[in-house]
């Protein structure tokens, strides 16, 4: 059973289907295996942070209040299921005016490290995009590429020197890999 200081989770395409910009809670739904899979990982002593790029805010496609409502719902679902969520870190930067906060930049991870006394090299980054894997690799974390969302296309785009620690079909298979 693998225990990490923290498991960083991408949001769209990893925890939930990614139809594009999710602009209201009505459009948000977890994959049916998300919460049961996270409960398994939490049972192994893992805790979580969500790190998500949400440029839809800057692009005017999502209202801040709607994003807050989605994230409040996520927090409530984690609490209801006994899944320790340390925080949700959001970067609203437009990709063309990206700061260090926008993945693959280290900003959100360094903020979580400071907020929660984490050791990033003892953490895992789980996501479906090149930016997720690059961020984890750059910070010395183990990485897990899920083939949901953009994961399959990401797998084909990653350079050989940047292979994830784990490549799994989805979060359910990732939980099995880590916890069995």
Write down the domain spans for the chain.
7-179
Q: Which among 10, 66, 93, 132 is annotated as catalytic?
A: 10
Predicted pLDDT at 66: 97
The one catalytic residue in 12, 66, 128, 142 is 12
Higher local confidence (pLDDT), 160 or 146: 146
Q: Specify the pTM.
A: 0.97
10 is catalytic: yes
CATH class of 7-179: alpha beta
Q: How far apart are CA 129 and CA 19, in angstroms?
A: 15
| 160 carries an active-site annotation | no
pLDDT at 1 over 80: no
Buried/exposed 76-99: b ≥16 CB within 10 Å, e otherwise? ebbeeeebebbbbbbbbbeeeebe
């Amino acid at each position: 059973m693998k225990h990490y200081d923290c498991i960083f989770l991408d949001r769209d395409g990893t925890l939930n289907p990614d139809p594009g910009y999710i602009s209201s809670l009505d459009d948000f739904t977890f994959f049916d295996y998300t919460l049961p899979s996270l409960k398994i990982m939490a049972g192994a002593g893992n805790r979580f942070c969500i790190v998500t790029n949400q440029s839809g805010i800057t692009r005017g496609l999502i209202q801040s209040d709607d994003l807050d409502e989605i994230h409040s719902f996520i927090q409530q679902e984690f609490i209801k299921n006994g899944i320790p969520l340390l925080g949700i870190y959001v970067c609203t930067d437009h990709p063309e005016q990206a700061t260090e906060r926008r993945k693959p930049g280290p900003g959100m991870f360094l903020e979580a490290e400071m907020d929660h006394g984490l050791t990033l090299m003892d953490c895992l980054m789980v996501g479906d995009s090149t930016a997720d894997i690059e961020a984890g690799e750059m910070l010395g974390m183990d990485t897990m590429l899920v083939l949901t969302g953009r994961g399959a296309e990401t797998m084909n785009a990653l350079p050989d020197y940047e292979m994830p620690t784990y490549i799994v079909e989805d979060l359910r298979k990732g939980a099995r890999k880590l916890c069995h």
